[in-house]
Structures are given as structure tokens and as C-alpha cells.
Amino acid sequence: MTDENKNETEVESQENYDELLEELTLKDEELTKLKEDLEKQQEETQEYISLSQRLQADFENFKKITDKKNKEIVRFANENIIKDFLDCYEDFGRALEIENDKDLRDGVELIYNKFNDILTKEGVEEIPAKGEKFDFTRHEALMTQASEDVENGYIIEELMKGYMYKDKVLKYSKVIVCKK
């Protein structure tokens, strides 16, 4: 090889070396950037995991508090109506202390009216029975009788009153139904 060729080869080798060194430097920078991005992603992932765990703990606490409140609501659901009945209970006690029969009747009538007002206010109403057409969804037939005055399938007599609470039957009317 001539000196000139040798120099050319050395120049080419140097250029190749410089190119490879530059490419290696770029790859190192790219690798460093990828490592930084990976660390950021791992930090974000850790934050999301932590957030998820806190949210789950908050939700569990919320469920416990809500369950406790619901139990308290159910436990004391009838508190207001019981307070109203206590007034009537005390009135019965006072009525029993009275010795005069007329005053006793007036006292019991007053208490009856109070009970009626409370029940009406709460949405309880009597189921009409006597003279009505028998309805198995609201009446319970205890007996059947023939009657000239009442049509077949109609109620002759109410033995025990029935009551509705809003749209639900609390207690069926016990009745005697006409059957010819």
C-alpha cells in the first residue's frame, strides 16, 4: 500500500470512527431520555396506585358511615309516631283516673279522636266494607249468608275493621258476604 492509500484508509477509518462515536453518543442520549421517561411513568403509575388505594379506602369508609346512618334511621324510624302515641297513652292514664262515667266517656272519645288523627296523618285509612261489593284484595270473608236485603256478592256485615296504609293493606276487613 502506498502512503497515499494508507492515509486515505486512515482518514476513512477516522471518519467511520467519528460517525460511530457520534451515533453512540446519540444512542446514549436517547437511552438516557428513555430512562427518564420510564422513571416518570413509574412515578405516575405509583401516584395512580396510591390514589386508587386512597379512593378505595375512602369508599370503604363512606360505606361504613352510610351503613351506620341507615341502621340508625331504621332503628328510630318510628320515633315521631311513638311520640304522638305517647300523648294518647298519657291521656288514657288521665281518663282512667276519672270516676264520673260521663267524663270517662268524653276522655276516651278524645283519645280515640287523637288516635284517629295520628293514623290519618300517617296515611292510614279504614277500608269501607258494609254494603260494598266483596273484594278479596281488601276483605276477608269469614262467613257467607243469604239475605233478602243485600245483593249477591255484597258485604252484609263487617265483623272487624280493615285498614290501608297508603296503597298497601295493613289489615283485611273481616266480613260476612251475601251468597244466594
The per-residue pLDDT for 67 is 95
The per-residue pLDDT for 3 is 63
Which uninterrupted H or E stretch holds 144? strand 139-145
Q: Are residues 118 and 138 in the same domain?
A: no
Give this prediction's pTM: 0.53
Q: Are residues 65 and 7 in the same domain?
A: yes
Q: What percent of the residues of the chain are helix, what percent strand, and what percent coil, each to the nearest 5? A: 65, 15, 20
Provide block-wise average pLDDT over 10 residues at a time, the chain (180 residues). Answer: 65 80 91 95 95 96 95 80 75 74 81 86 90 95 91 93 88 92
Q: Are residues 149 and 118 in the same domain?
A: no
Q: Are residues 69 and 4 in the same domain?
A: yes
Q: In Å, what is the CA distance from 124 to each residue of 24, 49, 149?
A: 89, 54, 31
Q: Are residues 117 and 150 in the same domain?
A: no
Print the SS3 string covering 46-107.
HHHHHHHHHHHHHHHHHHHHHHHHHHHHHHCCCHHHHHHHHHHHHHHHHHHHCCCHHHHHHH
